[in-house]
Amino acid sequence: ELKALKPDLQIVVAFRMLPEVVWSLPPLGTFNLHAALLSQYRGAAPINWAIINGDKETGITTFFLDEQIDTGRIILQERTPISEDDCAEDVHDKLMMQGAELIIKTVRLIESGEAKAIDQSQFMTDEPLRPAPKIFKETCQIRWEKHTLKSAYDFIRGLSPYPAAWTNVIANGKETEMKVFKASMKPGPLQVSLPDGPLSLDEVQLAGKKRMPVADLLNGTKLSIIK
């Protein structure tokens, strides 16, 4: 079906890996929009991992597809800051607007023959490459014993609102799971003591219940965190 369309150029956004027979079809190539500053964060979840790792900036990249995942020659790249209270949804929304404009710029460059695709090796520094693998439920469990105050805070906002960090709790005498959507690095009505200070859990959702501010949950629920 694609051959019948005789495309000059193909654009891919948030899609699975394409076989060479597909991405090599158009004479002008196939380019992808990736929500990271390649060569960093190759993989399925770049926004999440950038926040989880505590990065202060990220960005978007357009690049030509090749045989490997997110390794093709870079066409354009733009940076955007990650603020201290940004969650994954906030950064996604910033990059969505920025990405739409970058796609148009990229198409115009390719159309005019002015696109200068650069090998990713030219973007590499002494900093180790950080991957962005797909996130599964087990990835999202908050393992409190492994966290500092800041790393736990970043972990929660990096997974919010989806798929959401979670922890085991005792709610009215029964063990269950609780998702955590918002937290703050200060004392609060429901807090977890970490080696360098308390983390307040501010917006949560017990399994089978609605998402709500933790103060509302505590009105009718006796709750404790299982660390």
- Per-residue pLDDT of 115-156, as tens digits, reads 999 999 998 888 899 999 999 999 999 999 999 999 999 999
| CA 85 – CA 180 distance, rounded (Å) | 15
Residues 137-225, CATH architecture: Roll (3.10)
Q: Residue 3: what pLDDT?
A: 82
- In the chain, alpha helices (H): 2-5, 20-23, 46-52, 88-112, 149-158, 214-220
Q: Which two three-digit tokens encode residue 176?
A: 């269950």
Mean pLDDT of 41-64: 98
Tell me the CA distances in angstroms from 59 to 16, 70, 71, 78, 94, one per residue in order.
20, 14, 16, 5, 9
By DSSP bridging, strand 10-13 and strand 30-34 are parallel
Query: Which are the contacts of 168, defined by CB distance < 8 A and separation ≥ 6?
Result: 175, 176, 177, 178, 225, 226
Q: Is residue 147 within 8 Å of 194, Cβ to Cβ?
A: yes
Of 137, 139, 226, give the one whose Cα is nearest residue 176: 226
Condensed to tens digits (0 to 9), the pLDDT of residues 66-119 reads 999 999 999 999 999 999 999 999 999 999 999 999 999 999 999 999 999 999
Q: Which two three-digit tokens encode residue 36?
A: 């990271």
List the chain domain ranges.
2-123, 137-225
Answer with the residue of higher pLDDT: 20 or 149: 149
* Per-residue confidence band for 175, with pLDDT thresholds at 50, 70 and 90: very high
Whether this prediction's pTM lies above 0.75 is answered by yes
Residues 2-123, CATH architecture: 3-Layer(aba) Sandwich (3.40)
| CA 208 – CA 58 distance, rounded (Å) | 34
